[in-house]
């Protein structure tokens, strides 16, 4: 945006002439990713960032997970559509039943499964892919 206004104002379209000005303005403008500090403050002046503020901001953005599954819960997996033109009247969930083996504390929460025979299922699954029985 700054580059466009500079070239329009001076009726020149060589952006290379204005690159130092654009970089200077960019580095002196506040950035939300570094807590409204400027890159100039952080890298030149060595201003330290408040990590507690960063953690609080990250936690506020994540949505609380509802309807968590627990270890030992019996679930079904959603069926993956191989063809987008398949009939929607087909079953959405596989017939086989699985058991939640492990709850992984990630963002978002994921799950490891085992089948009814006790064999571990390869991969991890999101809550949206599972239906509690």
44 shares its domain with 95: no
pLDDT at 41: 76
Q: Please tell me whether residues 42 and 77 are part of one structural domain.
A: no
Whole-number pLDDT of residue 69: 92
pTM over 0.75: no
Structural domains of the chain, count: 2
Report d(CA 42, CA 51) in Å as an integer.
13
| Cα atoms in the Cβ-side hemisphere of radius 13 Å centred on 86 | 11
Dihedral of the alpha carbons of 22, 23, 28, 32, in degrees to the nearest 10? 100
User: What is each CA distance from 62 to 5, 18, 77, 121, in whole angstroms?
Assistant: 37, 40, 25, 28
- Which stretches of the chain score pLDDT less than 50? none
What does the alpha-carbon distance between residue 57 and residue 19 come to, in Å, rounded to a whole number?
A: 33
Residue 96 lies in a domain: yes
> Has residue 4 been placed in a domain?
no
Distance CA 39, CA 30 (A): 8
What local confidence, expressed as pLDDT, does residue 110 receive? 92
Sequence-distant (≥ 6) Cβ neighbours of residue 114 within 8 angstroms = 98, 99, 101, 120, 121
Which residues form the domain of 114? 73-82+90-132
């Amino acid at each position: 945006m700054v580059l466009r206004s500079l070239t329009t104002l001076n009726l020149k379209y060589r952006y290379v002439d204005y690159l130092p000005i654009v970089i200077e303005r960019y580095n002196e403008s506040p950035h939300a990713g570094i807590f409204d500090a400027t890159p100039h403050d952080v890298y030149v002046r060595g201003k330290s960032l408040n990590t507690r503020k960063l953690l609080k901001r990250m936690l506020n953005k994540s949505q609380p997970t509802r309807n968590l599954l627990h270890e030992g819960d019996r679930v079904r997996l959603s069926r993956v559509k191989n063809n987008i033109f398949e009939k929607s009247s087909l079953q959405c969930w596989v017939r086989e039943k699985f058991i939640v083996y492990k709850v992984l504390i990630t963002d978002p929460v994921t799950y490891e499964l085992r089948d009814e025979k006790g064999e571990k299922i390869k991969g991890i699954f999101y809550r949206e892919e599972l239906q509690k029985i």
